[in-house]
């Protein structure tokens, strides 16, 4: 069997997006660029495919044209260890035309959805203390960017 990766369809910005994503996500790199040749359908020499890794996860960016766009049915999920990491990713990914969404979701300037999650929140949600987990869930549902301190206070019942 071959390898598994996620293909992201762009309208001419695949390489630009890959460069942006690899600059935002730690331990990431572009692994290849394939231009269109004589057979097209894009202009000869323009980027057809860019392959890249985001913290070890493989992606393929395809400049397929305007026929398809991203929606929330697919997102890139990043789990963060600190509020500082959440804040930095949130700021960088919503910059230049990105948009905040609910519950730690956002869209970047290319329209791709991201979930900027917290390892702490996950630990709360899988806790044996279901009442505390429910308080944390209710707090998360009222947030845009996740606030770890507010989630802890909700979980502990001190909010």
For the stretch 84-132, pLDDT in tens is 999 999 999 999 999 999 999 999 999 999 999 999 999 999 999 999 9
What would the two tokens of residue 29 be? 């790199």
Q: Same domain for 34 and 109? A: no
Same domain, yes or no: 32 and 52? yes
State how many domains the chain has: 2
Q: Residue 144's domain is classified under what CATH number?
A: 3.10.180.10
The rounded distance, in Å, linking the Cα atoms of 34 and 31 is 10
Domain closes at, from 50, 68, 86: 68
User: Which domain CATH number covers 59?
Assistant: 3.30.720.100
| Residue 40 pLDDT | 82
Phi, psi of 6 (to 5 degrees): -100, 130
- Domain boundary among the residues 68, 93, 119 is at 68
Beta strand 105-107 with 99-100 is: antiparallel
The predicted model scores a pTM of 0.93
The verdict on 96 and 155 lying in the same domain is: yes
Average pLDDT, the chain: 96
pLDDT digits (tens, 9 = 90+) for 6-47: 999 999 999 999 999 999 999 999 999 999 999 988 899 999
33 and 98 housed in the same domain: no
Of the residues 39, 68, 97, which one is the last residue of a structural domain?
68
Considering the domain architecture, whether residues 8 and 82 belong to the same structural domain is answered as no
- Each residue's pLDDT tens digit, 120-154: 999 999 999 999 999 999 999 999 999 999 999 99
Beta strands in the chain (DSSP E): 6-10, 29-35, 47-54, 57-63, 75-80, 99-100, 105-107, 113-118
Q: Whole-angstrom Cα distance, residue 99 to residue 96?
A: 9
Residue 108 CB contacts under 8 Å (≥ 6 apart), including other chains? 20, 93, 94, 98, 114
In this structure, are 88 and 150 located in the same domain? yes
What is the domain range of residue 126? 70-159
């Amino acid at each position: 069997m071959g390898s598994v990766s996620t293909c992201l369809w762009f309208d001419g910005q695949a390489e630009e997006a890959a460069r942006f994503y690899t600059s935002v996500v730690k331990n990431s790199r572009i692994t290849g660029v394939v231009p269109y040749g004589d057979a097209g359908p894009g202009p000869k020499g323009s980027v057809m495919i860019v392959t890249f890794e985001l913290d070890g996860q493989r992606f393929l960016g395809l400049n397929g044209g305007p026929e398809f766009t991203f929606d929330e049915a697919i997102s890139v999920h990043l789990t963060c260890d600190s509020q500082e990491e959440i804040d930095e990713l949130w700021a960088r990914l919503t910059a230049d035309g990105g948009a905040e969404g609910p519950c730690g979701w956002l869209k970047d300037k290319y329209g791709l959805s991201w979930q900027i999650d917290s390892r702490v929140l996950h630990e709360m949600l899988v806790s044996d203390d279901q009442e505390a987990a429910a308080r944390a869930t209710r707090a998360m549902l009222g947030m845009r960017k996740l606030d770890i301190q507010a989630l802890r206070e909700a979980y502990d019942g001190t909010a």
